[in-house]
Amino acid sequence: MASDGARAVELKNKGNQAFKEHDWDAAIEFYTKAIELNDKEPTFYTNRAQVRMTSPRNTWEVQTDENMFTGANKGGSIWSCDCGRY
């Protein structure tokens, strides 16, 4: 059986494939599951953020990942971005 770290990398790789295929929801799901297994790996967070920035959706509800920050933004605040399509 694979370790949590190895399983997290497998999920990240599946997220990468979903991203290449523009399957935004699947990519976010894979990256989120990877984070749940290993919340110390920054690329899981940055990959998920890249999906949110790249997706053509008009509005994303984004919850701040408090594990990314050591101090200032521990509240898990929620903000939304009405980015539109350009």
CA–CA distance, 30 with 12 (Å, rounded to integer) = 6
For residue 21, what is the domain's CATH number? 1.25.40.10
The residues with which 63 forms a beta bridge, in sequence order, are 78
8-state DSSP, 55: S
pTM for the structure as a whole: 0.67
Domains identified in the chain, total number: 1
What end-to-end distance do the CA atoms of the chain give, in Å? 45
pLDDT (tens digit per residue) in 28-82: 999 999 999 999 999 999 999 999 888 887 445 555 554 444 444 444 444 445 5
Per the CB < 8 A criterion, the answer to whether 73 and 63 are in contact is no
Buried b (16+ CB within 10 A) or exposed e, 57-70: eeebeeeebeeeee
Quote the domain boundaries for residue 22: 4-82
Residue 64 identity (one-letter amino acid)? T
